[in-house]
Amino acid sequence: SIILPAWMSYALDKKTDRLEKLAREIFHVKGRGAISAAKKGIACLKHWFESIGSPVSLQAVDIPESDIDAIAGNAFALSQVWCYEGYTKDVIRKILLLAR
């Protein structure tokens, strides 16, 4: 519930169609352009997570910004084990910063 909306925001430009589809089909977002609808869908997902008591930010679980580099390093190491391509430490750090 913390990382997914941040990843969606990070991936918005490359995954606009999929995120727009989520917004329209799951959250019934009407009108708007594709990017605007996708952003609204991300906001709706965050709101839903909050409504079920799930945290939506690193701050909500007391993870300080100073820990982001260490978390990114750990996540990068795991991404190599799991063979995820395209997720450099810098990319992971950007996603984590969006999750603040």
Q: Are residues 67 and 48 in the same domain?
A: no
Per the structure, the count of domains in the chain is: 2
Predicted pLDDT at 32: 84
Q: State the residue range of the domain holding 62.
A: 58-100
- Read off the pTM: 0.92
User: pLDDT (tens digit, 9 = 90+) per residue, 35-50?
Assistant: 999 999 999 999 999 9
C-alpha to C-alpha distance for 37 and 58, rounded to whole angstroms: 25
Q: Are residues 32 and 71 in the same domain?
A: no
67 lies in the same domain as 23? no
Kindly calculate the radius of gyration of the chain based on its CA atoms and give it in whole angstroms: 14
Judge contact between 72 and 89, C-beta under 8 A: yes
pLDDT-based confidence at 31, cuts 50/70/90? confident
Q: Please give the C-alpha separations between residue 3 and each of 31, 33, 55, 95, in angstroms, as whole numbers.
A: 27, 25, 10, 7
Of the candidates 72, 74, 61, the one whose C-alpha atom is nearest the C-alpha of residue 100 is 61
Claim to verify: residue 5 and residue 31 sit in the same structural domain: yes
Cβ-proximal residues to 73 (8 Å cutoff; 6+ apart), any chain: 89
Instruction: Indicate whether 49 and 36 sit together in one domain.
Output: yes
pLDDT one-digit tens code per residue, 48-75? 999 999 999 999 999 999 999 999 999 9
19-23, 45-49, 80-84: lowest mean pLDDT where?
Answer: 80-84
Q: Within a 13 Å sphere around the CA of 15, how many CA atoms are in the beta-carbon half?
A: 16
Residues 22 and 49 occupy one common structural domain: yes
